[in-house]
Amino acid sequence: MAELKVGESLKEVQLDPVDRITLIKYAGASGDYNPIHTIDEEAKKVGLPGIIAHGMWTMGNLGKLFTEFYEEGFIQDYTIRFKGMVFLNDVVTLQAELAEENENILTFHVRAVNQNGNEVIKGDILYHRYAS
């Protein structure tokens, strides 16, 4: 990451298509058992076309953008806005662009987009690089 310049992007990460079993597992891991994430009929009762992914599942996946850099530093803070829903079979792509570098604190604009290019999440991640 040392050679990354402001305005440049990290390598995109494309997630596997969203499937029901992933959302059921996430419900168990997170304790978020809201049935709109796992039961089609319940999602339809509230006006959704079908189940939707947990927003926090999508947000948590943004950390995958930094996996190869965890020996160099850590994610210090997230600021996220949820922009859209993620449905079954959606293919989400994660993106990060270096917006600012202030000594060991790097600010990245991050976003997740679906297969149609629609933003589902956007925000900022502060990455703290260890002092060398």
- Could you state, in order of their start, the residue ranges of all structural domains in the chain? 8-129
User: Is the distance from CB of 51 to CB of 89 less than 8 angstroms?
Assistant: no
Entry pTM:
0.93
User: Is the distance from CB of 106 to CB of 65 less than 8 angstroms?
Assistant: no
**CA 55/CA 26 separation, integer angstroms:** 11
Taking residues 39-44, what's their average pLDDT? 97
Q: Whose structure tokens read 């419900």?
A: 27
**CA 77/CA 72 separation, integer angstroms:** 16
pLDDT of 65 reads 97
Neighbouring C-beta atoms of residue 71, cutoff 10 Å: 7
Taking residues 41-63, what's their average pLDDT? 97
**Residue 3: pLDDT above 90?**
no
Who wins on pLDDT, 131 or 61? 61
pLDDT band at 1 (very low <50, low <70, confident <90, very high): confident
pLDDT of 42 reads 97
**CA 105/CA 75 separation, integer angstroms:** 10
Taking residues 84-99, what's their average pLDDT? 98
**Residue 2: pLDDT above 80?**
no
Tell me which CATH code domain 8-129 carries: 3.10.129.10
How does the average pLDDT of the chain come out, rounded? Answer: 96
**CA 108/CA 14 separation, integer angstroms:** 18
